[in-house]
A and B are shown apart, each in its own frame.
Chain A
Amino acid sequence: MNYTVRDSTPGDCKDIMRLIVDLAEYEKMPNEVKLSHKELEADGFSSNPFFKCLVAEVPEEFKSKEGHTIVGYGFYFFTYCTWKGRVVYLEDLYVMPEFRGKGIGKALMSRIAQIGRAQGCVRMQFTVLDWNKPSLDFYSSQGALNLTAAEGWQLLRFEGEALEKLAQSAN
């Protein structure tokens, strides 16, 4: 079964949103998705995009049970490491269960690695949930290193009320 990996277009946002929700369900946090496909479109396809997204597409004859031809996506943006420079950050990588085992995940990731290298990126960074063994195994096989385990990095955030409170106390 053949597939193509290509840059997404504004018209893909409904499909991307569908896959984002699928992935959130897999990560056991479906209620956390607050974004709409319209916001995704505005934030990703303006003159100053906040992210880039690749999609994996299959021909009509291989469409999914529900009739979808966009079956996977790789969501990324560029960040910065003060020690080494430009970094490509892989925010989401997902392939629908019925299309796994065909190299689509690897193809999406490879293409993003290629794009990162073309932009002078020194590494790719991403987070994985500690119980997600299939993904942990896949990334290890590609040469990924768990920095939380190896160097003790913890991911923190300020959001909602805590962020507002902190902002309001600024001069």
Chain B
Amino acid sequence: MANFILRKAEPKDVSDILRLIKELAKYEEMEDQVILTEKELLEDGFGEHPFYHCVVAEVPKEHQSREGHTVVGFAMYYFTYDPWIGKLLYLEDFYVMKEYRGYGMGSEILKKLSHTAVKTRCSSMHFIVAEWNKPSIEFYKRRGASDLSSEEGWRLFKIDKQYLVKMSSEE
């Protein structure tokens, strides 16, 4: 099985997207962290001002998965901004179902996104990878990615809702 298409996600894809988000979270050993709903995905990705863009990989019906799915991979991205160089494409999630790996889907998705990045005049494509995820790190490094955490010392931080509320109420 080698044929598949890559296309822009549509509103009807949200349940497949959520399914794949949960599968990826499971792979990252954090599946109980996914609290996003289909309704939020729909509103946030297909409303007037989308918070994200999504590309899906689809196989023909005759190659559907064991559970009957034809949407077998996805990549979610959005545009960010680096005050030093301008627009960037940020790759948030990128996943291909296990039974569909090894056919070049991941490579094609990444190529399509980098093409989008260049077309929209982004200077760079950024993303994060868990340090234990050696297969993914190797996949990206083989294609020329540099690890900014190692090379420049960047550390990723977050401030959760309860602290945001606290901060925004203190003037």
When C-beta atoms are compared, the residue in chain A nearest to B74 turns out to be: A82
CB of A156 within 8 A of CB of B114, answer no
Closest to B125 in A: A158
Determine whether the beta carbon of A35 is less than 8 Å from that of B166.
no
- Whether the Cβ atoms of B80 and A80 lie closer than 8 Å is no
Q: How far is the CB of A7 from chain B (nearest CB, A)?
A: 16
Q: How many of A's residues come within 8 Å of B, CB to CB?
A: 77
Give the chain B neighbours of A33 by CB distance below 8 A.
83-85
Chain A contact residues, majority secondary structure? mixed
Chain A residues positioned under 8 Å from B80 (CB to CB): 50, 77, 79, 89, 91
Instruction: Say whether A12 faces chain B, with CB atoms less than 8 Å apart.
Output: no
Interface string of B77-91 (1 = CB under 8 A from A): 011111111110010
Interface membership of B9, Cβ < 8 A = no
Question: Is there contact, CB below 8 Å, between B51 and A142?
Answer: no
Q: Cα distance A161–B145 when bound, in Å?
A: 10
Chain B binding surface, main DSSP class: mixed
Chain A residues near B163 (CB-CB < 8 A): 142-144
A82 touches B143 (CB 8 A): no
CB distance from A69 to the nearest CB of B (A): 20
- Of A35, A80, A121, the residue contacting B83 (CB under 8 A) is A35
Report which B residues bind A (CB closer than 8 A).
21, 24-25, 30, 33-36, 40, 44, 51-52, 76, 78-87, 90, 92-93, 108, 110-112, 114-115, 117-118, 123-132, 137, 140, 143-150, 152-168, 170-171
Give 5 A-B contacts (CB < 8 Å), ordered by A residue.
A35-B86, A79-B80, A85-B40, A130-B153, A170-B114
A interface with B by C-beta (< 8 Å):
16, 20, 24, 29, 32-35, 39-40, 43-44, 50-51, 75, 77-86, 89, 91-92, 106-107, 109-111, 113-114, 116-117, 121-131, 139, 142-149, 151-167, 169-171
